[in-house]
Structure 1
Amino acid sequence: MTQEDMNSPSEIRVFSLNCWGLKFLAKYRHERLSEIGNQIAAISPPPEIVGLQECWTQQDYLAIRENTEHILPYGKFYHSGIFGGGLAILSKWPIEESSMWRYPLNGRPTAFFRGDWFVGKGVACARIRFGKRKKDVAEVFCTHLHAPYEAEPNDSYICHRTAQAWEIAKLMRGAAERGHLVIGLGDFNMIPLSLAHRIIEAHTPCRDVWRLFHPDSSIGAAKDPVEKKRGRPMPTAEHNIRENGATCDSALNTWRWNESHRKRLEKGEDVVIEPVVEDPRAKRLDYIFFSSGEHSPAAATKSNGRIQPQADTWALQDVKVGMTMRHPELKCSLSDHFSVEATLVRSPDPVDYSRPSSSSVDFDSDARSTTSLLPPAIYDEILAMITKYTAREYRQRRLRLTHFGAQLALTIACLIGVWWVPHNFVAFILMLVSSLGLAAGVIDGLIGGLFVGSELRALREFDWEIRNARAKAVEEKSTGDMKTGVAADDKLNGE
């Protein structure tokens, strides 16, 4: 073993948390995020790579940096959109390169009350050098996908979130093809084995770390139809955290409590919820994906103890939900999400986890295939989604441009009418109405002509890529069927 090999770390601890740091909206924002920094620094052993989401202000980022700089001396706060993307990456090792990849499909400016478009959501990318060898590189991708505002499949933004999963999958696949350790983390706003989840696992060698250790974990909240079909008993809050990896809507998170409990907290009472309470709403929205180069990840046996660096592949040693503690003074949860924490180790004996365990959720075998492609039927589902959303956008553009034309005609009519009205106050009303109407019409015209046009072009690109992937999937399936047929013929001939 060379000196460079000895200087290369044998394990990497990864941490991801949605901080809920919305400026002006998130309660006790600065106090909570400062304490998040304290708690990250208190983790033992400390994390080496940290990804944060909804860390919207540089003030909060700097507060976290100040509290963690002794263990995470390198960091990057990512700037994006009008209000910022809320993403940050902290590291024990130098960040050699960094970029912010904006998602082409990313919400709508008309939904200003939701804000996804205004923050410019995307992928914070960091290339981290963790050793002296040329291959000691981790490519980290931190993201926050578009939020679901309605239940699937009625979510009007499902096309956006699916396209975003496709984009980050391309980035992670490219990093894996370069032979680097790939770490994708963040708030993906998706449930396990959803369409977006399957896209990431099918189109990259990366795997969801939680399902590597907990392949039979829940695929949604206990109250969701998809989870009810499994016929599992109602989970407790403790079970959801320990076995299902629930990071959001937990009964133990104070920001999900009912109003009476929250009022008691605000009065200074230390309200305690027992971990055995039923927890029907908790679900897993936060993830860590990883792969060791182009190969599927391995899983190390916990009883092996510390694994010495003997190979260039990485394995998953441990994964857990963290940051479940409360603020020491405010007694509230540190965020409306809990963290995901994983430990990766160098593995001398990689185990191929490219196929899910037989105890996985009983989807059809095609849907659970982890070749580099999904079944053609899944691509057909995505194409139907694109077609439906594209038709919606064409209607939107037509309506908005029609509104602009109508307002322009109304403004001209009002200006002409000013010449004929007998009183000044009537002329003033006509000018006011025409001016306000024209302003609204111009905004609609700009949205219909520019934004919707841009979105339609992004949809065409997405459509082409899905059709291209589908053609490859059909070809792969045909080749596989032919090989199966030949093998069957050979067996019959042999008999």
Structure 2
Amino acid sequence: MEKVLTEISIVTLNCWGLKYISKLRRERLTEIGRQLAAADPQPHIVALQECWTQEDYHSIRRETRFILPYGKFYHSGAFGGGLAILSRWPIEESTMFRYPLNGRPTAFFRGDWFVGKGVACAKIRYGPEPKQVVEVFNTHTHAPYEHGPNDSYLCHRMAQSWEMSKLLRGAAERGHLVIGVGDFNMVPLSLEHRLITAHAPVRDVWRVLHPESSLGPADHPAEKARRRPIPTAEFNIRENGAASDGPYNTWRWTRQQQKLLGPGKPAATIPPDTIDARGKRLDYVFAGSGDIAALNGGWVVRHANVGMMMRHPKLGCSLSDHFAVEATLAFHPLPKKPSKTRPLRPTAIPNPRPDSETIVNSLEPDIADADTSTINTTPIPSHAFHNGTYLHIQSPTPTPSEDFSTSASKHPDAQLLSFPHANPQYPTPSIVVPLPSTVYDEILATLHKYVRRERSQRRWRARHFFASAVVTVACLVGVWFSPRNYVAFVLMLVSSLSLVAGTIDGLLALLFFKSELRALKEFEWEIINAKAINGAAPIQDEEIDEDDGDDEEGW
């Protein structure tokens, strides 16, 4: 076993490798492998999404075999989950966990249900000690095909975030370093985002270093409420971590702009001050600390940035329709026990969204017991915020992510001690607070709205089945009494098509919708139980009706 490292470098990238659909797929994914192999610093763990074919996976493996000799391609669904994990160290265990809720087979033109989306899990040992283990969870959640309050897939993404949080929490309880990565198809501090950070001892590494980063694209309601100016392309990359939909990515260009690309053509550039109203963050790295007591220290965030922004050297296009998110975790030993006369003092970070719950607190380490020579203790100017609204006229200077000790909240001592399990002798609050009961009520309201929709669909499809059976019988009777001409043929054709369509709808009503409603029932119970555990009045099991009838309360 090689010498244990004090840093772990992580890369997550959506490769956009859909067979027959993604343009220039083979050339782009091969170049992704080359760029990973040439990366500095060298990545230790790489998580890929939308790597759908074995051909592309092996192409990347060939390029990275010397720095990432171990890997796993995950199989799921009818066409594969598109997930892969590459590692510098051996993968001791591997699991493909499929989401109980993941789209609908009726939306066959979208394909999420057919690929069997889920979480690719890998247990990787990075050192000889029992707790020197990292568990990686790589996912690609359901795509947001719909937007606004009528997004019927929001319930699926919430359920998937909930399942991810349970996997992360379970690994953390085993005392392992947990890393959750992937394309989550959510914006920061959304309901799905808060489900993960509130129910698992992990942090969004980007927000650790950039706590004032955006909450979505410029036209997102939560971002508009902050009244910040529309960011530039450069600012969105450096400060907001917008790895998706920005103007730097050539696959987001218009067709006219893309005509400037190609072999032998001069490189087309985008000015850094280009206004970027669409760029957003969909790709995340969530990280825990490891077993702090057993290791006498834990993992903190040293560095995070948007990467893989280079273009194909011959084709001139971006390597994917997403950029990568890169993060470096550093092992930091526990600081000395704080002085009794100078205890740790929780300091609230101004809430960037006035209509949301503040879920992040920072810790001011004791000056006598921690090296704070590099900590900037200058208070935030009073004019910077007014009633929760950001007042800068221009985009503020990006916060450098190269040094994680530029402020008290980013200092490694503060990061480490903010974990509730850092050490029993440290009376420190957690950076994560339980979600308020209103948030659980919002989840339940969304869930019940979706259930009513699916129950209506199930009834309609069941009725269609019985109606098709009646039509089939009627057509067969008509054939019996019809003359021997084209009328009989038409009646037989109608009866056959009706029977096939009705049978498909009947099977969907009996198998898919029934199983989906049962999975939703499980999700409902877990949310109600979590609400009760976090301070609400306990609920009795019998309050959740297990009847399979059509009443809306019991489903």
| Match for residue 292 of structure 1 among 277, 280, 289 | 289
Partners of 2:197 and 2:203 within 8 A in 1: yes
1:361 aligns with 2:358: no
Deviation at 1:437, TM superposition (A): 1.3
Alignment of 1:237-248 (within 5 A): 237-248=233-244
| Alignment equivalent of 1:199, drawn from 180, 195, 198 | 195
Alignment of 1:65-84 (within 5 A): 65-84=61-80
Partner of residue 446, structure 2: 385
- Cα distance in 1, alignment partners of residues 70 and 514 from structure 2: 40
The 1-side partners of 2:72 and 2:346 are apart by 35
> Residue 424 of structure 1: CA displacement?
2.4
Structure-2-length-normalised TM-score: 0.80
Instruction: Name the CA distance, whole Å, in 1 between partners of 2:157 and 2:526.
Output: 16
What is aligned with 2:311?
Answer: 326
Identify the residue that residue 101 of structure 1 maps to in structure 2: 97
Q: Secondary structure at the match of 2:279?
A: coil
Deviation string, structure 1 residues 217-257 (Cα, Å, up to 9, x no partner): 00000122221111111211111000000010010000000
What is the aligned counterpart of 2:212 among 210, 216, 221? 216
> Is the alpha carbon distance of 1:69 and 1:354 closer, same or farther for their aligned partners in structure 2, counting shifts above 3 Å?
farther
Q: C-alpha root-mean-square deviation of aligned residues, in Å?
A: 2.3
**Amino acid aligned to 1:317:** R
Aligned mates of 2:443, 2:59 — CA distance in 1: 42
Q: 1:120 to 1:132 in 2, by over 3 A?
A: same
Structure with the larger helix share: 1
Long gaps (5+) in structure 1? 297-308, 478-495
Partner letter of residue 508 of structure 2? I
Q: In 2, are the aligned partners of 1:23 and 1:57 still within 8 Å (CA)?
A: yes
| Higher alpha-carbon deviation: 62-71 or 367-376 | 367-376
Structure 1 window deviating more from structure 2 (352-361 vs 399-408): it is 352-361
Q: Which residue of 2 aligns with 1:398?
A: 459
Match of 1:306 in 2: none
Q: Which residue of 2 aligns with 1:335?
A: 320
Change (3 A) 1:356 1:395: farther
Q: 1:230 to 1:331 in 2, by over 3 A?
A: same
Matched, 1:128 2:140: no
* 1:273–1:116 Cα change, 3 Å: same
Separation (CA, whole Å) in 1 of partners of 2:33 and 2:355: 43
2:529 to 442, 445, 468: 468
Residues 256, 336 of structure 1: 8 Å contact kept = yes
Residues 26, 236 of structure 1: CA spacing in aligned structure 2 closer, same or farther, 3 A cutoff? same
Tell me how far 1:265 sits from its aligned partner.
Answer: 1.7
What TM-score results when the alignment is normalised by the length of structure 1? 0.89
| Secondary structure, aligned partner of 2:121 | strand
Q: Distance in 2 between matches of 1:153 and 1:167?
A: 23
Post-superposition offset of 1:175: 0.4
Deviation, 1:150, is: 1.9
Q: Which residue of 2 aligns with 1:489?
A: none
* 2:14 counterpart residue number: 18
2:268 counterpart (271, 274, 277): 271
Contact 2:263 2:314 in 1 (8 A): no
In the alignment, which of 138, 141, 152 is matched to residue 156 of structure 1? 152
- The Cα shift of 1:431 comes to 0.7
1:277 Cα offset (Å)? 0.6
% identical aligned pairs: 61
Report if the CA contact (8 A) 2:10-2:326 is conserved.
Answer: yes
Unmatched 5+ stretches in structure 2: 339-343, 361-430, 539-555
- Relative distance call for 1:335 and 1:437 in structure 2 (3 A) is same
Query: Whole-Å Cα distance in 2 between the matches of residues 34 and 359 of structure 1?
Result: 44
Q: Kindly indicate whether the alpha-carbon contact (under 8 Å) linking 2:118 and 2:139 is maintained by their aligned counterparts in 1.
A: yes
Deviates more, 1:34-43 or 1:272-281: 272-281
Shift in CA distance, 280/176, structure 1 to aligned 2, threshold 3 Å? same
Cα offset, 1:274, TM superposition: 1.4
Alignment length (residue pairs): 461
